[in-house]
Amino acid sequence: MAETQESSLKHVYFFLEEQAAVSPSDGFAGAGEASRYGTVTHAGLEEMQKADSAVTIEQVAASPSGDLPGAEYASTYGTSIPSGKPEMNPLAPAFWMRKKESASSVPALNAASSLVEIRKVEGKGCGLFAVASIPRGTMIISEAPLMKILNAGIHLTWGPYCRLSNQDKAAYDAMYGYQPPSIDFDSIARTSLVDPFDDTMDGGDVDKLVAEQIRVMSTFAINSFNLQPHHLGIYASISRLNHSCVPNVHSFINGPLGVNTIYATKDILPNEELTITYLGGRASYLPRSKRIPELHRKFGFICQCSACTDQTGASDGRRELLDYLAWGLNEYNDHSTATDACIPASHAAALSQAEDLIITLKQEGLDTIELTKAYRIASYAALKIKNYEYALQLAREESEVEKYCLGTDLRDLRRLGIATESWFKRIYETIEVWEGKEVAREYQELSKKEKQKKKARRYKKAKRVAAAASCAE
Ligand SMILES: C[S@@+](CC[C@H](N)C(=O)[O-])C[C@H]1O[C@@H](n2cnc3c(N)ncnc32)[C@H](O)[C@@H]1O
């Protein structure tokens, strides 16, 4: 059991690796980081779920954000991104820009949402912008992929592209494209896609065809998301989301629904740009001096977000602290000894460290999916020291963040036993084992009441926001 718990702990911070799914949402930590923070696949979570204990830290490894664009080309095309990482672009290393100017004409967005529209943005091509006030927790877009391919090779884009309807082809053709110089698109096209024995084409025809295939492949490369477990997908609207190191929306690939959902993780004002993070895992916590070159190397742009332009050092200081806190909590388990100052050696110390992590994430504006995992660890530690009320309060906080990042249709997470709902169940079971049925029932009642109070407060706030918005109009 000790071994199971420890290996599970390795995954507590899998989300740190994940949020990339860049989305093109959900990150870009280097391959070397994988062993330190661990990554969790659905299969891995299922394994973790098998461990049987009243409360084990595997339950802490909560909500997946495994929606990020695929890393799966890595093996085929030689990038160093480990498979399964939620990176926005599997072909990321060393992109060079192919057609930034293509954004000069703004294509009509077949909007998957009436809350956003596509606009040109100076220096970024196009992006998605709010056309109304969008309160935190709003599901802004729910979109099926325009096209998806098996993540076994970029050459697989050509066939599905040719079969797109004219309308979908037009949406695809309007998208932004890069050619990563690290990938030899030309030889992929000539060896995998052109029949060398076809003598009906002359050399000029072949070159034209190859150029067209390269265009299609490079568009897919920069705009695709990782659809677990085996596909990559490109979205007419969602692939238009630009990056910020302080994002205001979260992308979640909801497998059972077959859609990518975009939720507002902050209150968004009319005309504000919607942004996701292309960075995941520890890469999010890099100081700007390292983050900026990393984004440039992988995506070909210089990030000008508020964190990257902060010259005061405050943002860098917080990210350094986040890295320290998160790494230590990742190493924490029921048997931790303080071999390193940042690894909590007791549950009380872990609780305090997780609280610091929560506060710092909020201060840095990273109050998105990472926060659910921080709450889960804090709740786990509180439960271990038998502070049941606090454990439940932290679980309710987690549940709220889960809702505003992922929504409520979480069939996959429930099936895997990693949704907050399952964590609540585990807390009650643990109380029952340790304190008896009656006490567990009392806590359940108490938590129900607190949930209702919270709901009433949320409702009042939503009414206030709606009233303020109608006054402004
Ligand atoms: C998935 S596309 C995003 C949509 C794209 N801007 C468009 O016009 O369709 C990714 C590309 O957008 C641009 N981009 C994304 N975020 C950016 C940012 N914060 N600053 C500048 N360019 C950015 C980069 O060129 C990047 O390679």
Q: Is 223 in the pocket of ligand 1 (CB under 6 A)?
A: yes
Model confidence at 303, pLDDT cuts 50, 70, 90, reads very high
Pocket test for ligand 1, best of 26, 176, 244, 302 (most atoms within 8 A of CB): 176
**For range 400-408, the mean pLDDT:** 94
Which is more confidently placed, 39 or 458?
A: 458
CA triple 255-263-417, angle to 5 deg: 45
Measure the CA–CA gap between 47 and 229, rounded to whole angstroms. Answer: 16
Give me the percent of the chain exceeding a pLDDT of 90: 55
Q: Is 123 in the pocket of ligand 1 (CB under 6 A)?
A: yes
Measure the CA–CA gap between 158 and 144, rounded to whole angstroms. Answer: 19
Measured in Å, residue 434 CA sits from the centre of ligand 1 at: 53
Which is more confidently placed, 3 or 415?
A: 415
* Nearest protein CA to atom 15 of ligand 1, as residue: 242
Model confidence at 251, pLDDT cuts 50, 70, 90, reads very high
Q: Is 301 in the pocket of ligand 1 (CB under 6 A)?
A: yes
**For range 401-427, the mean pLDDT:** 93
Measured in Å, residue 409 CA sits from the centre of ligand 1 at: 30
Inform me whether the pLDDT recorded for 447 exceeds 70: yes
Any idea which of 85-94, 105-114, 406-415 has the lowest mean pLDDT?
85-94
* 147-150: strand order across its sheet: 147-150, 231-234, 224-227
Inform me whether the pLDDT recorded for 443 exceeds 90: yes
Tokens representing 288?
Answer: 């700007």
* Nearest protein CA to atom 27 of ligand 1, as residue: 299
Q: Is 172 in the pocket of ligand 1 (CB under 6 A)?
A: no
Measured in Å, residue 318 CA sits from the centre of ligand 1 at: 26
Inform me whether the pLDDT recorded for 282 exceeds 90: no
Measured in Å, residue 170 CA sits from the centre of ligand 1 at: 19
Measure the CA–CA gap between 229 and 244, rounded to whole angstroms. Answer: 26
Please report the pLDDT score of residue 468 as a whole number: 74
Q: Is 65 in the pocket of ligand 1 (CB under 6 A)?
A: no
If you write DSSP's letter for every residue of 346-400 in order, what string do you get?
SHHHHHHHHHHHHHHHHHTT--SHHHHHHHHHHHHHHHHTT-HHHHHHHHHHHHH
**For range 292-321, the mean pLDDT:** 94
Please report the pLDDT score of residue 388 as a whole number: 97
Distances (CA, A) of 461 to 136, 341, 367, 447, 471: 11, 42, 19, 21, 15
Q: Is 70 in the pocket of ligand 1 (CB under 6 A)?
A: no
Model confidence at 245, pLDDT cuts 50, 70, 90, reads very high
Residue 389's CB is within 10 A of a number of other CB atoms, namely 12
Inform me whether the pLDDT recorded for 95 exceeds 90: no
**For range 398-423, the mean pLDDT:** 93
Specify the pairing of strand 273-276 against strand 242-243: parallel
Q: Is 303 in the pocket of ligand 1 (CB under 6 A)?
A: yes
Which is more confidently placed, 50 or 112?
A: 112
Q: pLDDT tens digits for 173-231?
A: 999 888 777 778 898 998 888 887 787 878 788 899 999 999 999 999 999 999 988 99
- Asked if 235 contacts 25 with a C-beta cutoff of 8 angstroms, the reply is no
Closest CA to 15 of 41, 47, 49: 41
Phi-psi region of 298 (alpha: psi -120 to 50; beta: other; left: phi over 0): alpha
Inform me whether the pLDDT recorded for 88 exceeds 50: no
Q: Which residue is it, tokens 């305090």?
A: 352
Measured in Å, residue 124 CA sits from the centre of ligand 1 at: 5
Measured in Å, residue 399 CA sits from the centre of ligand 1 at: 32
- Asked if 108 contacts 126 with a C-beta cutoff of 8 angstroms, the reply is no
Q: pLDDT tens digits for 130-177?
A: 999 999 999 999 999 999 999 988 899 999 999 999 999 999 999 988
Model confidence at 453, pLDDT cuts 50, 70, 90, reads confident
Report the chain's mean pLDDT, rounded to a whole number: 77
Model confidence at 373, pLDDT cuts 50, 70, 90, reads very high
Maximum mean pLDDT: which of 68-77, 416-425, 451-460? 416-425
Q: pLDDT tens digits for 54-81?
A: 444 433 332 233 332 322 222 222 222 2
- Asked if 270 contacts 19 with a C-beta cutoff of 8 angstroms, the reply is no
Please report the pLDDT score of residue 402 as a whole number: 96
